Amino acid sequence: MPKTRKKESPPEFYTATDFLRGQASKIFKEVSNEDKVVLVTSHGKPNAVVISYERYKKLKYNDEVDI
């Protein structure tokens, strides 16, 4: 039987400036505590992704994903 994936909520977007305005701690707590995915934009374009360490480990040690 195929594995079903849980429905993911869409990622939240933050600007690089949000991190400079002292929101980094709040964003990191949300990502870690709520297992959210955050996209960081710069000049309106996606530039980076922030994920929890637990999610990173799952991806890192999944043979189907190369990160």
Are the beta carbons of 35 and 54 closer than 8 angstroms? Answer: yes
pLDDT digit string, tens, across residues 27-49: 999 999 998 999 999 999 999 99
pLDDT grade for 22, boundaries at 50, 70 and 90: confident
CA 67/CA 56 separation, integer angstroms? 9
What is the share, in percent, of the chain residues with pLDDT greater than 70?
81
Q: Where do the domains of the chain lie?
A: 12-60
Kindly provide the residue ranges of all beta strands, DSSP E only, lying in the chain, ordered along the sequence: 12-15, 38-42, 45-50
pLDDT grade for 64, boundaries at 50, 70 and 90: low
Tell me the whole-structure pTM to 2 decimals.
0.72
What's the CATH architecture for 12-60? Answer: 3-Layer(aba) Sandwich (3.40)
CA 13/CA 42 separation, integer angstroms? 10
CA 44/CA 7 separation, integer angstroms? 26
